[in-house]
Amino acid sequence: MKANRFSRITVTTLTIVMTFLFCVSGTSVMAQTTGKSSAKLERERMSKIMNPGADVEEFRQEYLNYLTEFEDTMRLFSEIKVVREKLNKNGSKWAETIVQAKLSIANATPEDLRLLRDVYAKFPGWRDAPQSLNALIKPELRQSLERRIKNKKDGTIELDITPDNCADGINAGITNTDIAIADAFRIAAEALQDVIPPPFNFVAVAATAATKGVVLAFQTLKNIKDDCEGNAFQTDITTQLTNSVANDNTNTTNIINNAATNTTTITTAVSNAQTAIVNNNNANTTMIVNNDNANTTAIINNANANKDEMKNLLLRTQIEADLASTDGSVFVALYETPVTKCFPSLNSLGLPQTGLPANTVQCGLLDLVRSIVQQTIANVNTSSNAANFFAQGDAQRAAGNYKAAYASYRKAYKAASN
């Protein structure tokens, strides 16, 4: 194996992977549940293991532990019947993939392990993934699943475990934030899988399979929780309506029995009671509809905000990576195109997408490039060279010479960054 075979990593890919790992580690549940001193000790411990001069066998054991933690987390989720069925339906082979990866790591030569360690050393957040995902499992759900595993080993059969177990979904308490965190780890795992070249990229496939499984488990459990809580609310409303009808029937019987002596009073009372019941039911119905609409809007807005934040973060890191590229490298055409030039977004066949909103178009990003350079100059450097290049780019942009303008902005960015 050649010593430089892990060096074929593009600047863009490295930037994307590092961004994901940085964002995920910043929101890690594990960071919220451990003390600062413990987190510092863990970082120091991993720093020693990843040091090029450290015993490579320590890295072998650490990577085996890393895979085992993924394996333990997925084994817990697989005890939920509906999750297990979802995993099987989606063709997940997480168990087989992790076992093969552990066997390969166990049999790898010290030279191979050192090369693999050099790659992972570039991504300090890689070790947090299984621990952070495991920390998202609520205590009630964990206790229930561990009890099932123990009972299975003891030969005990648990009854009343239905495919859509409301207790599992409610105990899990999965939120959209939990799903977003798990999905960020999935994206990071897939990026690492692409970065590590053969013959070792398959070890990252095991982490990708596990993180995909966790995302699917979280989504399934949240769907169960939402369905069960919705059914409980509907049952409560039905009970209230049934009680109202029963009360109406009782009142009607009393009215009929006393009709001969107090017909006018009874008729008035029935009319008033019916009006109150209708008004109350209408008010309850309106409140339920308004609450459902508000919840739906909040969920959609939150999902769109998360999507836009991730998209903007990726776009910015990619633009800055291109601005920092070596002189003479080819420009990205979209970056040197002005915002006034817009065109339809393309589908996977390269054709304009149809049936989408009118604003579903792609416009040039030169104005965004200019804003990033301007912000960089203001934040990190106010040298005259950076300012002069920036002013030159503005003049070229105003004159319609967009390629030259982008080249000047790139020089301004580099002058500010140096």
Give residue 62's pLDDT.
94
**Percent of the chain scoring above 70 in pLDDT:** 74
Residue 78: pLDDT band by 50, 70, 90 thresholds?
confident
Q: Can you tell me the distance from the alpha carbon of 229 to that of 172, in angstroms, rounded to the nearest whole number?
A: 13
Range from 29-33, 127-131, 214-218 carrying the lowest mean pLDDT: 29-33
For residue 231, how far is the Cα from the chain centroid?
Answer: 27
Instruction: Indicate whether 56 pLDDT > 90.
Output: yes
Do the beta carbons of residue 213 and residue 182 sit within 8 Å? no
DSSP state of 137: S
Q: Which residue reads 């920036």 in tokens?
A: 390
pLDDT in tens, 60-75: 999 999 999 999 998 9
pTM above 0.75, yes or no: no
Q: How far apart are CA 104 and CA 178, in angstroms?
A: 32
Residue (of 199, 188, 185, 205) closest to 6 by Cα position? 199
Q: What's at 232, amino acid-wise?
A: A
Give the residue-averaged pLDDT of 156-174.
68
Using CA atoms, how far residue 236 sits from 230, 243, 247, in Å, is: 10, 11, 17
Please name the residue ranges forming H helices in 324-382: 366-380
Candidate from 23-27, 270-274, 413-417 with smallest mean pLDDT: 23-27
Looking at this protein, which amino acid is placed at residue 18?
A: M
Q: 361: helix, coil or strand?
A: strand
- pLDDT, residue 160, reads 47
Most trustworthy range by pLDDT among 38-42, 156-160, 203-207, 248-252: 38-42
**How confident is the model over 318-352, as pLDDT tens digits?**
998 898 888 778 889 899 899 889 888 777 787 88
* Share of residues in the chain with pLDDT > 90 (%): 23
- Is the pLDDT confidence value at 25 over 80? no
Alpha helices in 324-401, H assignment, sequence order: 366-380, 384-398
Report pLDDT digits (tens) over 133-163. Answer: 888 888 888 888 888 888 877 777 655 455 5
Do 190 and 208 contact (CB within 8 A), yes or no? Answer: yes
Look at residue 48 and tell me whether its pLDDT is greater than 90.
yes
At residue 59, the pLDDT reads 94
Q: What is the pLDDT of residues 366-411, one digit of tens each?
A: 999 999 999 998 888 666 788 899 999 999 999 999 999 999 999 9
More confident residue, 230 or 177: 177
Angle in degrees, 0-180, between the axes of helices 201-257 and 94-107, rounded to the nearest 10: 150
pLDDT, position 308 = 67
What mean pLDDT is reported for the chain?
Answer: 78
230-248: pLDDT as tens digits = 766 566 656 766 676 677 6
| Tokens 């890689």, residue located | 126
Please name which of 392, 346, 399 lies closest in space to residue 373, comparing C-alpha atoms: 392
